Amino acid sequence: MGKPQETKIIIISGPSGAGKTTLLKKIFLRPLIKKNFILAVSYTTRMKRKQEKEGRDYFFVSKEQFHRLIKKKFFLEYQKVLNDYYGTPRYFLKEAQKKRRDLILCIDVKGGMYLKKRIKKDKIVTIFIGVPTQGELSRRLRKRGDSKIIKKRIALAKKELQFAKVYDYLIINQNLQSALKLLERVLITERLQRRRQ
Ligand code: 5GP
């Protein structure tokens, strides 16, 4: 059977509007991905959007609850993004280790950089999901219609795009099918590489 496999953390970041959520939902329909990876569900203090489900997209909590969880060291990492807090619960890492799978976190660049500094190089992989142009990103964000904070999100997206170069992989999501193919290839390659070590 060989040595037990150690879990790798796969960070996926990119501006909102880049299509990270859609990509992840679709990629987890693929058997090889389902068998080898776990996708962490974060806690957040932001309001639930119409199409979102508690426990599937996020665990929605109040700021008070979130701060209590911080004190209890419940989070592997957490960050304030715009006006809200987002955090990855530690228990997903334990679950991934127990099942000998790799753990995928879809988190912002600050969270990504925080973990990159703290986790051994060979135990972390960073993937940035980008958009073809900034104009295209603004167009996608405006289509979403959460108009009040759209300007803030566009400004944040511009900042986040500057971090793409420090990620291990950059996937430009111009076409969903091609982006999915690339993402799957990266995930499986990383998984196989580690098995051979
Ligand atoms: P949204 O409100 O659009 O769902 O997410 C806003 C940003 O927060 C996105 O960049 C998303 O990846 C990030 N995010 C979601 N969960 C976490 C988390 O647990 N930790 C960190 N650091 N960022 C997160």
Q: How confident is the model at residue 4 (pLDDT cuts 50, 70, 90)?
A: very low
Question: Which ligand 1 atom sits closest to the C-alpha of 12?
Answer: 12
- Which of 59, 98, 99, 97 shows the shortest CA–CA distance to 75? 59
What lies within 8 Å, CB to CB, of 146 at 6+ separation is 49, 153
Characterize the bridge pairing of strands 102-106 and 37-39.
parallel
- The tens digit of pLDDT for each residue in 48-107 reads 998 899 999 999 999 999 999 999 999 999 999 999 999 999 999 999 999 999 999 999
- The tens digit of pLDDT for each residue in 113-137 reads 999 999 999 999 999 999 888 888 8
Q: Please determine, for residue 141, whether its predicted confidence score (pLDDT) is greater than 90.
A: no
Distance 85 CA to ligand 1 centre (A): 8
Cα angle value 112/197/23 (rounded, 5°)? 40
The answer to whether 186 and 144 are in contact (CB under 8 A) is: no
| pLDDT at site 1 | 38
| pLDDT at site 140 | 83
Q: Measured between alpha carbons, how far is 43 from 62 in angstroms, rounded to an integer?
A: 10
Q: What is the mean pLDDT of residues 22-50?
A: 96
Distance 30 CA to ligand 1 centre (A): 23
pTM tops 0.85, yes or no = yes
Question: Which ligand 1 atom sits closest to the C-alpha of 57?
Answer: 4
| pLDDT at site 2 | 39
Question: Which ligand 1 atom sits closest to the C-alpha of 43?
Answer: 19
Distance 107 CA to ligand 1 centre (A): 5
Q: Please determine, for residue 195, whether its predicted confidence score (pLDDT) is greater than 70.
A: no
Q: Measured between alpha carbons, how far is 149 from 1 in angstroms, rounded to an integer?
A: 52
